[in-house]
Each structure stands twice: as C-alpha cells, then as structure tokens.
Amino acid sequence: MDVSVLIEDEARRRGLSKKTIENYVFCVNRFFQWRKKDPRKITKKDIKEFVSFLNSKGYSGNTINVYINALKFLLQEVLAKRVLWRVKFSKKAKTLPVVLTQEEVVLLISSIENKKHKLIIELMYGAGLRVSEVVNLKLEDLEIENGYGWGRKGKGNKDRLMIIPNSLVYRLREYIFENKIEKGFIFLGRKGRHLHKRSVQEIVKKASKKAEIKKNVHAHTLRHSFATHLVENGYDVTSVQTLLGHASMNTTMIYVHMAKPKLINVKSPLDDLG
C-alpha cells in the first residue's frame, strides 16, 4: 500500500493546497519511519505514543498539530476508519504577528530601487496579498479601471477579491505596457513561469535590511501591516475580514488587538479618574 499516493489523490480530490498535501505526506511518512506497521493496523495508541515521542524531542505545539492532522486525514479520510479521535491537540502559542508602522512601510518601499520589485511589495502591502497570491497574479484577474481584482491560489487554494490601490493604477498599467504583457502572469521569473515565492521573500528580507528595520520582517508581515493599518484608519472588522478573505471573524479580530489604542478610540479608565 503506497500511503503517499493515496493521501495525494484524496487530498487533491478534496481541493487541499499543494503545501498542505506536501506536509501531510511528509508527516505520515515520518510516522511510518518511526513505527513500521501496516497502515490498516494503526491504532489510537500508536498515534498517542508518537505524539509523546514528538513532545520528548521538543517539537512545537504548532508542528505537532500538523502531524496530528495528517494522521487524522490518513485514518478517517483515506482509510475510512471510524475511530473516536481523542488525541488532544497541543495548544498553540498565542503570539502576535510582527507589524510595521506606516513609517517603516515607507522606509521599506523606499529602499527598493528595482521597479518590478517595488511594485510587487507595494501590491502586497496595498492589497494585503499573500506571497502565493502575488506570484500567481494574472492580467485576466485584474479589473484595473474598476480598482479591484482576484487573488488566486491563496490559503487553502482559495480565490478572493482584492483591492487595487489608486496610487498604483498608473504604474501597474505602465509596467504591463512596458513588459508587453497581454495575458498570463504579471510577474515572471527567469524561465517564463511566474516568479518563485522564495524570490519575493528575498526581496522583502533585503529591503528590510537595507532600510535598517530592526524587526523580524518577512513577506507576510506586509499583509499583517495592511490589516492592522486598516483598523487603525477606522475601517470596521467586517470590511477588513472581507478584504483579507478570512472565513472566520475571529481570525481578523487579532488585528483589532494589535492596532494602536488611540486610533481605535479606546480610552483608558484611568483618564476618567478624578
């Protein structure tokens, strides 16, 4: 029984993202390296012992959760085993994401000289795009004159509505014209395919270093900053949720906690004391 192939086939049928499929296959193979056993004979006891093993090796709660989800997918979805799932999920550390101030965003963008690279970063911040969305951006996905477009292949391989900043309309059209883009990917890599995600991550890292920003800045920091600044600018959570493409408002609420209190009209009760 080739477990990897079975997981890949079932995951694709269910529309899981390429990254999720890769993670599931890796985790399940790692499990069977640890416990060499017929997949059809795996028990809850095997999985509990494996989770204990991962804990003993110092794996983080987030990582262990990925392993548990992968094994759960194998048992319930691939092998159709009716088991009562009582393996407790490891709690995730509640850490707030890194967010740039608006001044830091200006410094970051100003440090980039390459026109293409600058446009990519401005779009990621200005529209709250994930790396996967910006590299998969196609001309046919954009309604430039109407100020919106569609972000493709985001989290969970889903599509979502995105805004196009007014300040980028002219430069975006200019870039498309100068590069003679008539259809397909807007930001091309060396082999005629779309730009690689790692290239975008390197652009952000180099720009952050050049701008001398001391925070741990990565590509997704731009999306966190986009959302936080929208809340600080007075937009309601429902609007921000829609622009981010979040299925749950609870996911969006984190940006309310991260916004500067004075900009979301929060007044300390101490100020009202006589």
- Cite the active site residues: 130, 155, 220, 223, 246, 255
Cα torsion for 250, 143, 226, 265, to the nearest 10°? -70
Query: Nearest-CA neighbor of 129 among 99, 154, 103?
Result: 154
220 within 8 A of 140, measured Cβ to Cβ: no
- Is residue 177 classed as helix, strand or coil in its secondary structure? helix
In eight-state DSSP terms, residue 25 is H
Give the contacts of 133 (CB within 8 A, at least 6 positions apart).
151, 152, 153, 154, 160, 162
Extract the runs of DSSP E, i.e. beta strands, from the chain.
142-143, 148-151, 160-163
CA angle 163, 16, 122 (to 5 degrees): 25
188 within 8 A of 194, measured Cβ to Cβ: yes
Give the contacts of 202 (CB within 8 A, at least 6 positions apart).
none
In eight-state DSSP terms, residue 77 is I
